[in-house]
Amino acid sequence: MKAKAKWSLVLSFVLALSLVLAVCGGSGSSSNNNGKSSNKLAKDQTLNFAITADIPTLDPTQVTDTTSNNVVQMTMAGLTRMHNNKFEWDMAQGEPEVSADKKVYTFKLRDQNWSDGKPVTAQDFVYGWQRQNDPAAKPAYNFLFASVGVKNAAKIQNPDDPMYGKFQNLGVKALDDKTLQVTLEQPAPPFFYSILSQAQFMPQREDFVKAQGKKYAQTADSLLYNGPFVLDSWKKGSGWTYKKNGDYWNKAKTKLDTVNFKVVKETSTAINLYKTGKIDEVGLSSEYVDAFKKSNPKEVKSAVESGTFFLYINQKTNKNLKNLNLRKAINAAIDRDGLVKTILNNGSVASNSVVPAGFVKGPDGKDFRADTPDGYPAGDAAAAKEYWNKAKKELGISKLELNFLSQDSSSTQQLNQYVANQLKKNLPGVTVKINAQPWANYLDLNQKFQFDLAFSGWFPDYQDPMTYLDMWTTGQPQNTTGWSNKKFDSLIKSASTGTADVAKRWDTMKQAEKIMMADYPIAPLYQSGHTWAEKPYLKGLNYPSYGPEIDFSRAYILEH
């Protein structure tokens, strides 16, 4: 009995103490915020992050995912660099010399060394780009070269073309050590300079790649760096560390000395690490957002990303879904505001369009969504019932079962239920069968048209509306709806080839989106958002809609 009493005394003391500490801790950090020391840089410029997965690959030729792309963009420098959604000249000294037909671009390179002390040359760019088009290097994402129209890229990548694999014919040439000439099939599209910041367009040095052989890019020291940071260590499975690159030409803008990434798969563990000060930033999944907004309101930040999420409506194998009124009914039946507020709750916004808002500005300096900020909404629940009644008459049906293909992650499961319930509730007589699958299998079923509705998302490959639009043309592998519209196809074709007249191209893409949304081949749902908490002393971290996913290249830490 005595021992018990003692323990409860100790426990209540600990409880009281930690409450006091929590209150002090809270007021302490906020007073620092308003206090005099708030603008002084801390001596220790170390930033600690948690991330859910390890780096899949460091080899710029193998990069397909955001984490790998992020590492490459933080540690390497291409001709340009994305920061705050705008491109800046990086290895290119500035505007290239452009030929009269706007097809040939001659870049002057800056003096910059690789991390082993040898200079970065134009030949390194030529080799890097050619390697992306060399089948022997097993490139994973090189179609970007064709998207931007680098000369012969499409032919070199096509196994049925006589030029297949002959990467020497790629439109890139070193005129001398510091001059790089890029030749395109047509005048450069507006996203030409921004795409040059991507991992696929980084320089790689031939002698180093060959000397490393199979070991190339397998560890932190089997890769060369020329960017703001170098990868100092990579402990596979547990995390990696960046150090500031003291030889980077623009090093004055890098304030952080060390950046640590720790692989933490459980959100609750990441939250606990943040609470105990072991990491300075933490991504919040929907169930944590409200609690954090209450306990640490000043630390919660949100950004809208450029991922678009939608339902494929399969009219190829399901004849009923060929009916426009039925597709409109499906579109109108889903309350998107409810979805983003109650289920996602992470900064995502409702969407009724193909191209997201705040992603890219046109030649007029206005956002693509400026004229149609709300997109093309099909209407509310009442409209849904009307469309559904019309569809029932036209099709001669009274009931309909829909097979809804989606993914099986815990966050998607809630969305699946929500969408299914909305359809059932607002379209009486409709039943929905959810088929939740792992990604690998989802892709397979989606490509084989084994679904009626399929939940999917799309992130941009380059900073241009076309990255969301051209996938819907007839016969594109991503167009798993069976929708086909000749007018749409011809508009996309003219915007793809008519890159010379920028203003006309811009309008053509807007027109194409309008035509598509009149037909509702898909049901747009939302534009993704990201919500996180960051310590008040951390400044300058950003999550841009295009470019490095987590941009800490200019972040810094204040005294605290």
Partner 1 sequence: MFRYIMKRILYMFISFYVVLTLTFLSMKMMPGTPFKFANRLSPEQLGQLKHYYGLDQPVAVQYVHYLWNFIHGDLGGSFQYGMQPVTEFLIQRFPVSFQLGLEAMVVGTILGILFGIIAGLYRARFLDWGTMTLSMIGISIPSFIFAAILQYGLSVFVQWFPVAGWDTPMSHVLPVTSLAIGVVALIAQFMRNEMVEVLNQDYIVTAEAKGLTTSAIIFKHAIRNALIPVVTVIGPMTAAIVTGSLVIENIFTIPGIGSQFVEAIVTNDYPMIMGTTELFAALFIVAILVVDILYGIIDPRIRISGGQSS
The residues binding partner 1 (CB under 8 A) are 14, 18, 54, 56-59, 62-65, 68, 135, 138, 140-141, 143, 157-160, 217-218, 235-238, 262-266, 268-269, 272-273, 275-276, 278, 438-447, 456, 461, 477-478
Contacts of 202 (CB under 8 A, 6+ apart): 60, 72, 76, 77, 78, 128
**10/98 with CB nearer partner 1:** 10
CB of 477 to partner 1, least distance (A): 5
| Cβ atoms within 10 Å, residue 182 | 25
**9/98 with CB nearer partner 1:** 9
185, 149 Cβ separation under 8 angstroms? yes
CB of 138 to partner 1, least distance (A): 5
CB of 438 to partner 1, least distance (A): 5
**14/291 with CB nearer partner 1:** 14
CB of 40 to partner 1, least distance (A): 28
498, 508 Cβ separation under 8 angstroms? yes
Q: Distance (Å, rounded) from C-alpha 25 to C-alpha 198? A: 42
CB of 141 to partner 1, least distance (A): 7
CB of 350 to partner 1, least distance (A): 24
Partners of 433 in beta bridges? 403
**217/355 with CB nearer partner 1:** 217
258, 47 Cβ separation under 8 angstroms? yes
CB of 132 to partner 1, least distance (A): 13
Q: What are phi and psi of 551, to 5 degrees?
A: -100, 105
CB of 478 to partner 1, least distance (A): 6
**388/462 with CB nearer partner 1:** 462
225, 118 Cβ separation under 8 angstroms? no
Count of residues making up the chain: 560
Q: Distance (Å, rounded) from C-alpha 60 to C-alpha 74? A: 12
Residue 557 host element (H or E): strand 556-557
Strands 453-458 and 538-539: unpaired
**164/429 with CB nearer partner 1:** 164
| Contacts by residues 62-65 (CB-CB < 8 Å, ≥ 24 positions apart) | 62/138, 62/139, 62/140, 62/217, 63/140, 63/141, 63/199, 63/200, 64/140, 64/141
**59/513 with CB nearer partner 1:** 59
Residue 259 host element (H or E): strand 258-263
**437/511 with CB nearer partner 1:** 437
**282/509 with CB nearer partner 1:** 282
384, 332 Cβ separation under 8 angstroms? yes
CB of 119 to partner 1, least distance (A): 28
Tokens representing residue 114 in the block: 């690789």
The three-point CA angle 519-521-524 to 5° equals 105
**156/350 with CB nearer partner 1:** 156
CB of 70 to partner 1, least distance (A): 14
